Every structure is written in C-alpha cells, then in structure tokens.
C-alpha cells in the first residue's frame, strides 16, 4: 500500500524535471553518472562555490562534503532533534504532533545529523492528511535555502551543532499496520475537527 501511494504521487507530480527547470532559468547543468568521479569534482572546483545545495535523498560523502568552504546544505523536512529519516510528515502525524519542523542543515556523513543553519515550524491542522501536510511543508519551505545562504554569507554566523545525544529517532518507511493506524487517526481527527468547526458556526 505504501509503495502504491508513493508511486501514485510521483505519477501525478506535474512539476518540471530538474534539467528542464534549470535550463529555463539559465543555470549551467552537468549531468554525471558518478558523483565522485574526478571530472565531477573538477567541475565543482572550477566554479569555486561557497556552498553546494543538495536537493534530493541519500548520503553525500567526502570529498564533496569538504569541497565548498561553507559545506553542502540540504533540506530536512523534519525537526532533527525529534524526527530524522523518512517519509516526510508521516511520523509527526502518526504521533499526533501539533506542528512539524523544517530544517536547512550543513550535511555530514550521518543521516539528518548536520549543523543547523535555519529552522521553521509548520502547524499541523485538524484537517491535514499526510499528503496535504507534506505538500504544505514543501511549499512553505521554498524560500529557506535563500535565507540560509544569506546567513552563511555572514562572517559572524555559525551553524548550530546538535550534540549526538540530542538527535532524534531515525525513522524509516512505515509498515502496513503503522500506515493503517495513521489513516484511521487522520480520519478520526477530521471527523472530530469538523464537528467542532460546525458547532462553533451554529447560531445561539
């Protein structure tokens, strides 16, 4: 069920492919098969970036992590003190949280354990589904990379190091039981929220 749901999301996503988007914005593009090949590293070095933005999933390792002086920055749509790993927005809803975090971090070789550049909280609404919360988290965090770059450009700014014992649980794709629990919980919250919402609108 999880696989079907994730596949259906990718098939209905109408956003431009990355290559086409970059082309339209006039951004130089280098497609590579090996991220750590010397030709790839030379391509990055030649541009002398202050930092590199990684958009996507998976690990980035040395020597790329140390190539730009300010590091490799990336989103984590979650609060790394509580929710690391994936999938986006699932575990916050599962646990009945009232908000979820979004983090821009300077990556290290651990998953979602980097230095924090910027954080933001996204409120979880009574009528949120997993899909709606995930999309809102993405939409409301678009400008965070720009803001993070401005912060990193300040000499006096230092990203926050989170001690290892303060890092959150590392989550992964839920099983069928957990997915079913989430769906029933979301349905119950929507019904309860709708009742409260309608009762407030009733004339006295």
Mind listing the pLDDT tens digit for each residue in 34-54? 999 999 999 999 999 999 999
Residue range 10-27: average pLDDT? Answer: 69
Which tens digits make up the pLDDT trace of 59-71? Answer: 899 999 999 999 9
- Using pLDDT thresholds of 50, 70 and 90, give the confidence band for residue 203: low
Predicted local distance difference test score (pLDDT) of residue 16:
62
Which tens digits make up the pLDDT trace of 120-133? Answer: 999 999 999 999 99
Pairing of strands 115-123, 99-106: antiparallel
- Using pLDDT thresholds of 50, 70 and 90, give the confidence band for residue 107: very high
Predicted local distance difference test score (pLDDT) of residue 1:
42
Our measurement of the distance from residue 203's CA atom to the centroid of its chain's CA atoms, rounded to an integer in Å, reads 43
| C-alpha to C-alpha distance for 78 and 64, rounded to whole angstroms | 24
Q: 50-193 belongs to which CATH class?
A: alpha beta
Our measurement of the distance from residue 149's CA atom to the centroid of its chain's CA atoms, rounded to an integer in Å, reads 17
- pLDDT mean across residues, the chain: 88
Token code pair at residue 22: 């970059």
- Domain residue ranges in the chain: 17-48, 50-193
Q: What is the pTM of this model?
A: 0.84
More confident residue, 101 or 31: 101
Does residue 15 surpass a pLDDT of 60? no
Predicted local distance difference test score (pLDDT) of residue 13:
52
Residue range 187-193: average pLDDT? Answer: 86
Does residue 118 surpass a pLDDT of 80? yes
Task: Give the strand order in the sheet containing 72-76.
Answer: 52-54, 72-76, 99-106, 115-123
């Amino acid at each position: 069920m999880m696989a079907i749901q994730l596949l259906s999301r990718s098939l209905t996503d109408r956003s431009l492919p990355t290559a086409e988007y970059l082309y339209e914005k006039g951004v130089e593009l280098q497609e590579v098969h090996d991220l750590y090949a010397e030709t790839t590293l030379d391509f990055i070095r030649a541009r002398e970036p202050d930092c590199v933005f990684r958009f996507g999933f998976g690990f980035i390792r040395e020597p790329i992590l140390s190539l730009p002086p300010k590091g490799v920055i990336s989103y984590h749509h979650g609060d790394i003190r509580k929710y690391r790993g994936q999938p986006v927005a699932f575990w916050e809803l599962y646990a009945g949280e009232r908000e979820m975090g979004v983090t821009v971090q300077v990556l290290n070789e651990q998953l979602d354990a980097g230095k924090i550049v910027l954080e933001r909280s996204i409120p979880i609404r009574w009528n949120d589904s997993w899909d709606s919360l995930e999309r809102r988290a993405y939409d409301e965090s678009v400008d965070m990379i720009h803001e993070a770059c401005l912060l990193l450009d300040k000499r006096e700014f230092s990203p926050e190091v989170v001690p290892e014992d303060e890092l959150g649980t590392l989550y992964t794709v839920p099983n069928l039981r957990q997915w079913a629990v989430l769906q029933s919980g979301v349905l119950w919250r929507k019904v309860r929220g709708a009742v409260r919402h309608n009762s407030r609108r009733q004339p006295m």
